[in-house]
């Protein structure tokens, strides 16, 4: 039975102007993936087009085909639509710093911003529904490329993984808001392709990390 391992990218540069590159911790996490998949011989390796996806794949020891269908949604656009002042990165950083707990404050802003996006607010290049549609289409494209017993590794982001898992488990997008916030950097989700279609058999596995390298953002 063909299997697809959906792998969230390693930790990116939270709080930096250029989020889309791995942090020092992220590089260590990706190295753990190299150990985890040392004996795996995938028939196919795919990544989104974002730098953090490709860096994670490379540090894990793989060269990936690029499928933009696995790209994360534009989180900056989503945040700015909710808080236009945050178009200026310095304003956002200063506001979050004043709270005393920037990570928690950011999560509160991010949660409200994504809910506005989900609810169909304006100001977005890509709607939430369209994002979930392309995420599901990307994993189905990958499955179609696999032969009997073959394995694919997909390096992507938490958003697409949550979208795929929500649809496969519930038939819709309702679980996304529960799944997306808890997706761990370099966590592994396994989907198999059988006669009945695609099935999620595990989600967000991260035993390879240990407590020392476990991060959510």
The predicted-structure confidence for 33-48, as pLDDT tens digits, reads as follows 999 999 999 999 999 9
Instruction: Provide the terminal-to-terminal Cα distance of the chain, rounded to the nearest Å.
Output: 33
What pLDDT, on the 0 to 100 scale, is given for residue 211?
86
Q: Where are the alpha helices (DSSP H) in 50-154?
A: 51-59, 75-82, 89-98, 102-118, 128-144
The predicted-structure confidence for 89-134, as pLDDT tens digits, reads as follows 888 888 888 988 988 888 899 999 999 999 999 999 999 999 999 9
Whole-prediction pTM value? 0.93
CATH 3.40.50.1240 maps onto the chain at 3-71+127-213
Q: How large is the angle between the packed helices 128-144 and 158-170, nearest 10 degrees?
A: 80
The hierarchical CATH code for the domain 3-71+127-213 is 3.40.50.1240
Based on C-alpha coordinates, what's the Rg of the chain? 17
Whether residue 131 contacts residue 169, with contact meaning beta carbons closer than 8 Å, is answered with no
Does the pLDDT at position 16 exceed 70?
A: no
Tokens 């949604």 appear where?
A: 73
Whether residue 179 contacts residue 187, with contact meaning beta carbons closer than 8 Å, is answered with no
**How far apart are the C-alpha atoms of 188 and 208, rounded to whole Å?**
10
CA dihedral in degrees (126, 189, 24, 212; nearest 10)? Answer: 140
Neighbours of 110 (CB within 10 A): 17
Does the pLDDT at position 31 exceed 80?
A: yes
**How far apart are the C-alpha atoms of 210 and 87, rounded to whole Å?**
36
What pLDDT, on the 0 to 100 scale, is given for residue 144?
96
- Where do the DSSP E strands lie in the chain? 3-8, 44-47, 65-66, 151-156, 188-194, 197-205
């Amino acid at each position: 039975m063909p299997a697809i391992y959906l792998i969230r990218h390693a930790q990116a540069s939270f709080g930096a102007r250029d989020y889309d590159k791995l942090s020092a911790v992220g590089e260590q996490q990706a190295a753990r993936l190299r150990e985890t998949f040392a004996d795996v011989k995938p028939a196919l390796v795919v990544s989104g087009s974002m730098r953090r996806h490709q860096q994670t794949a490379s540090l894990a020891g793989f060269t990936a085909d690029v499928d933009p269908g696995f790209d994360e949604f534009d989180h900056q656009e989503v945040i700015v639509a909710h808080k236009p002042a945050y178009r200026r990165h310095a304003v956002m950083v200063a506001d979050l710093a004043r709270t005393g707990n920037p990570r928690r404050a950011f999560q509160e802003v991010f949660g409200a911003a994504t809910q506005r996006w989900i609810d169909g607010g304006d100001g977005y290049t890509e709607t939430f529904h369209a994002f979930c549609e392309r995420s599901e289409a990307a994993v189905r494209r990958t499955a179609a490329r696999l032969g009997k017993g073959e394995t694919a590794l997909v390096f992507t982001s938490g958003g697409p993984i949550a979208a795929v898992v929500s649809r496969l488990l519930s038939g819709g997008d309702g679980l996304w808001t529960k799944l997306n916030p808890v997706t761990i950097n370099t966590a592994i989700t396994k989907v198999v392709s059988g006669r009945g279609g695609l099935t999620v058999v595990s989600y967000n596995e991260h035993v390879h990390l240990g407590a020392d390298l476990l991060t959510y953002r």
